Structure 1
Amino acid sequence: MNTAQPRKRLVIGNWKMHGNQAANASLLDGLCAGFPAVRACDLAVCVPFPYLGQAGASLQGSGISWGAQDVSKHEQGAYTGEVSAAMLADFSCSWVLVGHSERRSIHGESDQLVADKAQAALAAGLTPVVCVGETLEQNEAGTTDEVIARQLAPVLALGAAALEKIVIAYEPVWAIGTGRTATPEQAQQVHAAIRARLDGSVAAKVRILYGGSVKAANAASLFTMPDIDGALVGGAALMAEEFLRIAAA
């Protein structure tokens, strides 16, 4: 008999490099006002570093959690421009994105560095959201599974105890900010393959999110898939009503 607890859906908004204090205030107020009607899932926002304090002050007690978009692998030291996991914890962050495709492609982050950042986050009590995904060229070449297996390998090496505390986000690079979205069936196939790579006792517990032009219009069909546990949302997370509609789905 299967006694595993169902995985609670999780929707995270990634603001990327957007926002200012006035616009943020309006967005956060809108989320706080609308969230009580859609409490069926966990809801969170990952905001630029300068706005972590604002997000925390606005969301405190709302049931919506917050986090950052990156973290250093180092605990402290002479690393100008870096932000440590302890600093994020000091702002009561719950989450941190690691290995987003934009960090991998623009900043050259390696698979091992992503795993090191995940480990640093865990050590500070944060939940790392490990992002994986293939480019359009890799997708068309049929190497999606191979690419994701390579990206996940150093993370899986952290062991079952660590993996239980990690969220994985599958973001096909070709669908991020392009308006193109994997069909629910395509996304499910990759999510199932990711889950199959996890140890049996861990596989049923780890939440795997889909990211890539997620909107209210396609969220419900994506969330019907058995291995899709929520979404990592980009542009649509900057509009309170749209973001809440995704959560409601």
Structure 2
Amino acid sequence: MKPGKRRKVVVGNWKMHTTSAEARQLAKGVANGLGNEDDVSVILCPPFPYLALVREILKGSRIALGAQNMYPEKEGAFTGEVSPMMLLDLGCKYVILGHSERRHKLGESDMFINQKVRFALASGLGVILCVGETLEQRKANQTEALLDRQLSLGLADVPADALPRISIAYEPVWAIGNAAHHATPQQAEDAHAILRGRFANLFGEEAAEAVAIQYGGSVDPENAAAFLRRNGVDGALIGGASMKADQFLAIIRAAKEDS
């Protein structure tokens, strides 16, 4: 890694995909392909039912286990929910919170996401906080205000000593899985600069220089290098391309080349 550079982070979000056999094969493919490579932080986030299975496969590797969501309580009468304690018990080190699909399809508010963020951090998990605007918001020139709001409310009352366990994932909702609209590397760099500036306002320049901001807008092996070499783009949150080991590994290699 080049001196003074933030460590690149590549996260595989499998969403609601894979059978147990597919999860096993995919995790093995990534672990075997990565080997002892340690220039890039790699996190796999399988569906809840396969966390224990993937944990066993990742043992001895440099890949961390993450979850796709959690509920902000230790335990209780919350049918269908999963607590951070359960995630920790299964070996998870990270959790994705505020993903655009949970915001827009499941109606999660900034305040609820903030509850999750604070509870996850207090429980000992690392948090990958997702933020990003819709196409309508971008067309209405609301991107900066929207990112400001999501970041400020999502990280409200977060203690300073928890900041090293936070990373941000910028998801332009309009560019995810959308053949008609693609974000450019320059648009990603501009959005990351907005986020880092707002993070500095909230927590200071030193914290802002340290925080990793990943890009999460349909990154694949063909465009990964173009995004990952841009200033302030510290990695990627991968959906579709994380479902094939060779594609995911190619993105990790692109991140390594820029480290």
Q: Please classify the TM superposition score into its range, dividing by the shorter chain length.
A: over 0.9
Name the counterpart of 1:206: 211
Name the counterpart of 2:150: 151
* Letter in structure 2 aligned against 1:7: R
Name the counterpart of 2:161: 161
* Letter in structure 1 aligned against 2:163: L
Name the counterpart of 1:241: 246
- How many percent of aligned residue pairs carry the same amino acid? 46
Task: Give per-residue Cα distances to partners, 1:126-172, cap 9 Å, x unaligned.
Answer: 11100000000101111101111111112332243333321100000
- CA root-mean-square deviation: 1.4
Name the counterpart of 1:71: 70
| 8 A contact 1:181–1:214 mirrored in 2 | no
Deviation of residue 37 (structure 1)? 6.9
Task: Give per-residue Cα distances to partners, 1:159-199, cap 9 Å, x unaligned.
Answer: 43333321100000011122443111110000011001122
Deviation of residue 95 (structure 1)? 0.9
CA distance in 2, matches of 1:87, 1:59: 18
SS at match of 2:130: strand
Name the counterpart of 2:126: 127
CA distance in 1, matches of 2:118, 2:26: 31
Question: Unaligned 5+ residue runs, structure 1?
Answer: none
| 8 A contact 1:85–1:126 mirrored in 2 | yes
> 6-15 vs 34-43, which deviates more?
34-43
SS at match of 1:164: helix
CA distance in 1, matches of 2:19, 2:238: 19
| 8 A contact 1:38–1:248 mirrored in 2 | no
SS at match of 2:223: helix
> 26-35 vs 148-157, which deviates more?
148-157
Name the counterpart of 1:89: 88
Matches within 5 A, 1:45-56: 45-56=44-55
Deviation of residue 6 (structure 1)? 2.5
CA distance in 1, matches of 2:148, 2:226: 26
Q: Does 1:191 align with 2:196?
A: no
Name the counterpart of 1:31: 30
SS at match of 1:169: strand
CA distance in 2, matches of 1:63, 1:38: 8
Task: Give per-residue Cα distances to partners, 1:184-229, cap 9 Å, x unaligned.
Answer: 1110000011001122121011100000110011111111112100
CA distance in 2, matches of 1:97, 1:140: 27
Question: What TM-score, normalized to structure 1?
Answer: 0.95
Question: Unaligned 5+ residue runs, structure 2?
Answer: 255-259
